[in-house]
């Protein structure tokens, strides 16, 4: 409810300011309509009209806060000196102006407003009761209004910073997903396309399988990209239901999709072996998706760079962590992005997001290339 009101206020600032002005006017009206002792000044229409002049400028409080403050102080002074009608328990209009200036204005304007109010308070007290108690209370409430305005500004800044950080994280996540999907599919398609002409001349029966592998990789990439782009679209309704024009979002890939991934890579002519050791158990969906993407990226690097004949994928379930190893017999670190590249950077980022770590370098005995990742397992 609070977020909806804040969003409505941001979308309709004029209406919000007009509502605040009306609320202040209602508070200013109470001394005029409540019964009054005979010794107090009478409640006249001119006095009421002048109090209205102190509330109307609040409609422009966010567009010209300092000008509104000066106008309100001038109208309040005229009310006190010329008509001296019913008093107010609190200086509502000046409090709203000072709060707005403290929240929205730059330091120079804030300091000028604070100085003007600090000088105006003793004058107002001298014209009213000339009591130290009123002076102390007035300085306190104006100081509180200024402090609340600064706190509101600090909170808005923090919210904007948090939103920017969340946006940056989401952009990085989407970039990793897009990289993994496109890099894997395009790499397989390139390998199959390069092998296709040779297969047509040497083994025509294999050419059909190569073209089918290209088609399958392209279709799979399109499905995953469509799902990823659907995340970026606005929901079709306020309750989160999908738009009729947008297909339902597919779930993130998990360990159940690993066999299909390995089969696609095998279709490119690479001997892919898979082994799982330890006590296998269900994993959180986010962790399964991370394992899938890590294996996918490692295999993509093998297809693109390693010139390997075989690759082994191993999952080792430990008591508190899961180790992922992808080892090939290719040409080693020179072709495997050992020191950089978007692919291994994405692997490290995915591992770090789960509190794990990733490393890459030469395989056993210095032959081939190996990607090693350790991911903590969540309790329960």
More confident residue, 106 or 83: 106
Q: What is the pLDDT of residues 202-243, one digit of tens each?
A: 666 666 666 777 777 777 777 777 766 666 664 444 444 444
Q: Which of 103, 130, 157 is the last residue of a domain?
A: 130
Q: Report the alpha-carbon distance of residue 313 to residue 103 in Å, rounded.
A: 57
Question: What is the structure's pLDDT at 340?
Answer: 46
Question: Tokens in use for 15?
Answer: 């209406």
pLDDT at 149 over 90: yes
Residue 136 domain flag: no
For 234-365, strand residue ranges (E) read 271-278, 310-317, 321-328, 357-362
The parent domain of residue 369 ranges over 273-380
H/E segment holding residue 51: helix 45-55
Angle, nearest 10°, between helix axes 342-353 and 132-202?
A: 130
Q: Please answer whether residues 375 and 291 qualify as being in contact, where contact means their C-beta atoms are separated by less than 8 angstroms.
A: yes
Across residues 308-335, what is the average pLDDT?
86
Predicted TM-score of the model (pTM): 0.54
Give all strands of the β-sheet with 357-362 in edge-to-edge order: 271-278, 310-317, 321-328, 369-376, 357-362
Across residues 172-180, what is the average pLDDT?
75
Partners of 360 in the β-ladder: 371
Across residues 26-53, what is the average pLDDT?
81
Q: Report the alpha-carbon distance of residue 221 to residue 185 in Å, rounded.
A: 6
Residue 5 domain flag: no
Share of the chain above pLDDT 90, in %: 27
Residue 30 domain flag: yes
pLDDT at 326 over 60: yes
Across residues 73-80, what is the average pLDDT?
83
Residue 69: half-sphere exposure toward Cβ, Cα within 13 Å? 25
Whose tokens are 């692919």? That residue is 343
Question: What is the structure's pLDDT at 312?
Answer: 94
Across residues 256-277, what is the average pLDDT?
88
pLDDT at 180 over 80: no
Residue 250 domain flag: no
Share of the chain above pLDDT 70, in %: 81
CATH number for the domain including 330? 3.30.565.10
Residue 358 domain flag: yes
Question: What is the structure's pLDDT at 240?
Answer: 44
pLDDT at 58 over 50: yes
Interacting residues of 32 by C-beta distance below 8 A, sequence separation 6+: 43, 47, 48, 51, 85, 86
More confident residue, 87 or 69: 69
pLDDT at 289 over 50: yes
Number of Cβ within 10 Å of residue 72's Cβ equals 24
More confident residue, 376 or 244: 376
Cα 43 from chain centroid (whole Å)? 54
Q: What is the pLDDT of residues 354-379, one digit of tens each?
A: 899 999 988 887 888 999 999 998 64
Lowest mean pLDDT among 80-94, 208-222, 320-334: 208-222
Question: What is the structure's pLDDT at 241?
Answer: 42
Nearest to 97, CA basis, from 67, 136, 52, 134: 67
Residue 241: half-sphere exposure toward Cβ, Cα within 13 Å? 5
Question: What is the structure's pLDDT at 10?
Answer: 67
Nearest to 159, CA basis, from 12, 14, 10: 10
Q: Which of 130, 160, 193 is the last residue of a domain?
A: 130
Give how many domains the chain has, as a whole number. 2
Q: Report the alpha-carbon distance of residue 17 to residue 22 in Å, rounded.
A: 9
Question: What is the structure's pLDDT at 236?
Answer: 43
More confident residue, 16 or 197: 16
Residue 174 domain flag: no
H/E segment holding residue 376: strand 369-376
More confident residue, 4 or 278: 278
Q: What is the pLDDT of residues 93-110, one digit of tens each?
A: 999 999 999 999 999 999
Residue 302 domain flag: yes
Lowest mean pLDDT among 128-132, 181-185, 276-280: 181-185
Nearest to 145, CA basis, from 78, 72, 87, 74: 72
Question: What is the structure's pLDDT at 99?
Answer: 93
Q: Please answer whether residues 302 and 326 qualify as being in contact, where contact means their C-beta atoms are separated by less than 8 angstroms.
A: yes
pLDDT at 186 over 80: no
Residue 307 domain flag: yes
pLDDT at 67 over 70: yes
Nearest to 72, CA basis, from 97, 89, 48: 97
Across residues 113-133, what is the average pLDDT?
87
Question: Tokens in use for 129?
Answer: 């009761």
When the pLDDT of each residue in the chain is averaged and rounded to a whole number, the result is 81
Q: What is the DSSP letter of 249?
A: P
Q: What is the pLDDT of residues 254-264, one digit of tens each?
A: 898 899 889 88
Q: Which of 84, 100, 130 is the last residue of a domain?
A: 130
């Amino acid at each position: 409810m609070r977020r909806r009101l804040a969003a409505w206020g941001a979308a309709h600032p004029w209406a919000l300011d007009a509502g605040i002005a009306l609320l202040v006017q209602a508070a200013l009206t109470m001394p005029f309509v409540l019964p009054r002792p005979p010794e107090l000044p009478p409640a006249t229409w001119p006095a009421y009209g002048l109090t209205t002049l102190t509330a109307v400028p609040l409609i422009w409080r966010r567009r010209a806060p300092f000008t509104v403050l000066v106008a309100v102080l001038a109208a309040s002074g005229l009310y006190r000196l010329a008509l001296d009608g019913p008093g107010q328990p609190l200086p509502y209009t000046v409090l709203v102006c000072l709060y707005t200036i403290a929240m929205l204005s730059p330091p120079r304007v804030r300091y000028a407003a604070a100085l003007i109010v600090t000088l105006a308070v003793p004058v107002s007290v001298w014209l009213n009761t000339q009591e130290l108690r009123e002076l102390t209370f007035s300085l306190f409430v104006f100081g509180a209004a200024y402090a609340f305005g600064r706190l509101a500004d600090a909170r808005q800044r923090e919210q904007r910073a948090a939103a920017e950080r969340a946006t940056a994280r989401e952009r990085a996540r989407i970039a990793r997903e897009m990289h993994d999907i496109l890099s894997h599919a395009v790499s397989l398609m390139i390998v199959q396309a390069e092998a296709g002409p040779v297969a047509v001349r040497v083994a025509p029966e294999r050419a059909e399988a190569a073209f089918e592998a290209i088609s399958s990789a392209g279709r799979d990439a399109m499905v995953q990209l469509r799902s990823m782009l659907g995340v970026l679209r606005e929901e079709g309704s306020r309750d989160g239901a999908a738009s009729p024009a947008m297909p339902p979002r597919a779930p993130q890939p998990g360990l159940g999709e690993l066999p299909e991934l390995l089969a696609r890579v095998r279709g490119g002519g690479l001997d892919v072996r898979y082994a799982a050791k330890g006590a296998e158990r269900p994993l959180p969906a986010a962790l399964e998706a991370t394992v899938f993407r890590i294996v996918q990226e490692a295999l993509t690097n093998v297809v693109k760079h390693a010139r390997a004949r075989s690759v082994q994928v191993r999952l080792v379930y430990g008591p508190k962590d899961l180790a992922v190893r992808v080892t090939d017999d290719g040409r080693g670190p020179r072709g495997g992005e050992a020191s950089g590249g978007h692919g291994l950077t994405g692997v490290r980022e995915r591992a770090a997001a789960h509190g794990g770590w990733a490393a890459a370098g030469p395989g056993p005995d210095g032959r081939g290339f190996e990607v090693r990742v350790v991911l903590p397992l969540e309790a329960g």
